[in-house]
Structure 1
Amino acid sequence: MSERIRVVLVDDDPLVRAGLGMILGGAPDIEVVAEAADGVAGVTTVAAEQPDVVLMDLRMPRRDGLEATRLIVADQAGSSRLEPTRVIVLTTFDTDDMVVNALRVGASGFLLKDTPPERIVDAIRSVAAGEPTLSPTVTAQLIASLTSADDGRATAARAQLATLTDREREVAVAIGEGKSNAEIAAALYLGVPTVKTHVSRLLTKLGAENRVQIAMVVHDAGRD
């Protein structure tokens, strides 16, 4: 990642983009390098700019944020960058299903559009450093929205967790609770480097693109 966190804004509302630009412009370590007004332009812009973080609206013309996120994450698979571009989706409470799907296709987290400015800045810094933005309050709402989902997914998730060691499962559950590496280390009496090693193994074993997808497997497995 570059010294300054390079951000691309993708939202069809120019007022939202302007507001985000003003918020991020006050952070000395963050630079908005480009904007796009829909998902098609967003994917093209991200490919050209190769930012560290994308703030992605979900509901947009031509191509929605879900498909744009999927394409951006898929493109990272063939990238030679040491740190991939990470996507934070922007949403409101009435788009829970789209948020869940966005996390499944590889988004690194989500923010509500009325999130306080300082929280937006902190979230971008966290995601750029490889830590997902999982607000416990909103995560609880997402878990609730999954309770009526396909039972087959719960069975598959439990089978995946069954392949893990006891310690790996403990780390996975902690990730599902939204804990950072430092918080996991403190809770499980481990060193942060050890936690990072477990996270890397979890990504491989669970076939996950990021920590958020690990959390989704844990949440699916925990449903009755």
Structure 2
Amino acid sequence: MSATILVVEDAPESLAMIAGFLEENAMTVATARSGAELRSRLQVLQPDIILLDVNLPDGDGIELARQMRLGGRFGLIFVTGRDSDEDVLSGFEAGGDDYVTKPINLRTLLARIRSVLRRSREPVITFDGWILDVVRRELFRPTGQLVELTAGEFNILVALASRPAQPVSRDFLLDVIANRDPREISAHTVDNLIARLRRKMQHDGQNVPIVTVRGIGYALMPAQRKPDPVKVD
């Protein structure tokens, strides 16, 4: 079960140990050593899970997670030496999916990561009546009609639909395009695929929920349910 993991840890030994072990187990790993570096990383990276130390040199990890709403945007596991019941409860209340205390058992940590991944990876994603079947790689309109997509278009839509209402960077979307040849892509590759995807999804005046986020990339913004009209006798 591969995934992108962002490890936020200020102790060099612990950071190297965790990152090395995860890479040995088929994970793609990015690192940050402070809250500031975490913010910077998330400008261009969309990790599946963040492993977040609580005691950071520039702030408290639990408070940082609460302020940035990390738990609502990513899988989130706190990794820390603070093990009081109050700390654990605060971690879960801040949106954490799990709370692992030091000293770390790496095999246990890997099991926790895989558990969070399994919970977060749904085989079918729905939005505004659309059905995105990740296993069969098919998109169906609210009317039930199949929409033919290329591999690149499908992968981009899954990336957007997996994080509804959250901006996804162009760099990340480039990374999810399967089997791309670096010699054949340009800065406009994602923009072109998004334009094609919008055209294919457009039908009978239907609004396409893919919006452009200036300076970042794109987001899937499912329409909010409108209130029922008021009946007048």
The two structures have a TM-score, normalised by structure 1, of: 0.48
Q: Which has the higher strand share?
A: 2
Which structure would you say has the larger RCO, counting Cα contacts within 8 Å and 6 or more residues apart? Answer: 1
Give 1 or 2 for the bigger CA radius of gyration: 2
